[in-house]
Structure 1
Amino acid sequence: MNPSKKISALIITYNEVNHIDHVIKNIAFADEIIVIDSFSTDGTFEKLSALKQVTTIQREFKNFADQRNFAIAQAQHDWILFIDADERITPKLKTEILETVNTSENIAAFMVKRLYFFKQKRIRFSGFQTDTTYRLFRRNKVKYIEDKIVHELPEIDGTSALLKNNMLHYCFDSAAHYKAKMEHYAKLKALELHQKGKRPNAFHFYIRPFYKFIVNYFFRLGFLDGKEGFTICYLSAYGVYFRYQELKRLS
């Protein structure tokens, strides 16, 4: 492979001991693997430290945008492949990535569609059917927007495109795991809103969570995902409620 076409694979982690071995093996085709770990307490760091092909840096977590930008700054190669510990690249997507970095001339960043799984069950609806995210881009063309501290957005210098093949996302190990994840995101989002001077009211506590559930469960067909769909839609709505409870506490 031409040296200018090498790939730096980046991961940010916190307590991902159940996923870390699988994801490192999954991205073994990258020319370097860098993990930024937020002082995991479950054995993740110890596992990473034993892997000679992985550069692991422990760094305090401030927010997702800040952590991702720090990770990008550590990369040595022109192309960045960002992956979360609970994501997996399929063989077809791997082939497409390798072809893309060697043939793409004018595109700065590529999105990929993610297929969601609850444990091992594919979630086809519940608001996730249109999920795409930036995962492959040129190192000097992308920076994450610092004041967007959760559901972080990259600022792209140039054009972007969508890869044809999908990524697998094993996002939910259990209802308790998803609830904890929603609370973590809600706290960060509440901090973002607080920094912008927002204050909650009755509309935020009652109407917005209810609306979130109705949209995902009925209009985005969450009921077709069975009991898992109900659980996901309920906890997504709970996350909205929890966000504004946290904002109230900050206010």
Structure 2
Amino acid sequence: MIKSNKISALIITYNEANHIEAVINNISFTDEIIVIDSFSTDGTFEKLLEFKNVTTIQREFKNFADQRNFALKQATHDWVLFIDADERITDKLKTEIISTIKNHNNTVAFMVKRLYFFKKKRIRFSGFQTDTTYRLFKNDNVKYIKDKIVHEMPEINGKSSMLKNPMLHFCFDSAPHYKEKMEHYASLKALELHKKNKNANMMHFVIRPIYKFITNYIFRLGFLDGKEGFQICYLSAYGVYYRYKELKRLNMSSKI
């Protein structure tokens, strides 16, 4: 039975042992916590079992949209708070979420700004200064677009708005960690393009990565983030290159 003004917190995880305890404690103000784990191998699942207030379901990962839609179906309350394991709700945002749900005035979805951190250093530029994402919804008014399998987008049935307070995003533990993330996202994006019969050419391998780096490092002021800014902008450009490398591989494989 769906209960008004109560919150179901949803997390999808894979190998998040370094973050899982902190994020569970961070969202303890919600009325239920449901984690969809993609058969983690680093002890994430075992740590989750220690929390009596958490429902953990192991499910094979197909793509982000599919996993999030499955998670939505598990929620039993009227409101859903989606959070990634490397994100944190500040005290001000927590207070705003609770107040917003009580006085939402027919708004069914809320976006939130994210403040990025590389290890413990705040990343203020490098393309992240305008990052926002949907995180709070009325459950019956949202589903994720199936064709957007990476950088997934919710389809909102109703009015949406922006929360005033940001959340924290500890997205990068190290440069190798960010590189691994970029390759994972790039592989999914390549699959999405492959399904649309897109092809890769020399422009994709050379011009687009260079354009990505220049845009983030120069025009979006990544150089002001110091050496971390250079690493992030370089790896973001590498992710573009890797995307089309994977697309080319997929296209060639389908012709065999």
Q: TM-score, normalised by structure 2?
A: 0.97
Identity %: 77
2:150 & 2:54 partners in 1: Cα distance?
26
**What's 2:229 paired with?**
229
Residue 18 (structure 2) pairs with residue 18 (structure 1): yes
**What's 2:212 paired with?**
212
* Secondary structure of the structure 1 residue equivalent to 2:193: helix
> 1:1-251 to 2 correspondence within 5 Å?
3-251=3-251
User: Which stretches of structure 1, 4 residues or more, deviate above 3 A after TM superposition?
Assistant: none
The Cα offsets for residues 170-222 of structure 1, whole Å up to 9 and x where unpaired, read as: 00000000000000000000000000000100010000000000000000000
1:95 & 1:13 partners in 2: Cα distance?
26
The Cα offsets for residues 76-122 of structure 1, whole Å up to 9 and x where unpaired, read as: 00000000000000000000000011111310100000000000000
* Secondary structure of the structure 2 residue equivalent to 1:249: helix
2:40 & 2:74 partners in 1: Cα distance?
20
1:21 & 1:57 partners in 2: Cα distance?
17
2:179 & 2:160 partners in 1: Cα distance?
33
Tell me the amino acid that sits aligned with residue 220 of structure 2. R
Alpha-carbon RMSD across the aligned residues, in angstroms, is 0.8
1:35 & 1:100 partners in 2: Cα distance?
24
Tell me the amino acid that sits aligned with residue 210 of structure 1. I
**What's 2:254 paired with?**
none
The Cα offsets for residues 138-170 of structure 1, whole Å up to 9 and x where unpaired, read as: 000010000000000000001110000000000
Q: Is the 8 A contact 2:7 2:78 kept in 1?
A: yes
Structure 1 residue 3, shift from structure 2 partner:
4.1
Gap runs ≥5 in structure 2: 252-256
2:136 & 2:113 partners in 1: Cα distance?
12
1:51 & 1:27 partners in 2: Cα distance?
13
The Cα offsets for residues 51-81 of structure 1, whole Å up to 9 and x where unpaired, read as: 1100000000000000000000000000000
* Secondary structure of the structure 1 residue equivalent to 2:206: helix
* Secondary structure of the structure 1 residue equivalent to 2:151: coil
2:220 & 2:21 partners in 1: Cα distance?
34
Q: TM-score, normalised by structure 1?
A: 0.99
Tell me the amino acid that sits aligned with residue 116 of structure 1. Y
* Secondary structure of the structure 2 residue equivalent to 1:57: strand
2:102 & 2:80 partners in 1: Cα distance?
13
Tell me the amino acid that sits aligned with residue 206 of structure 1. V
Gap runs ≥5 in structure 1: none
* Secondary structure of the structure 1 residue equivalent to 2:35: strand
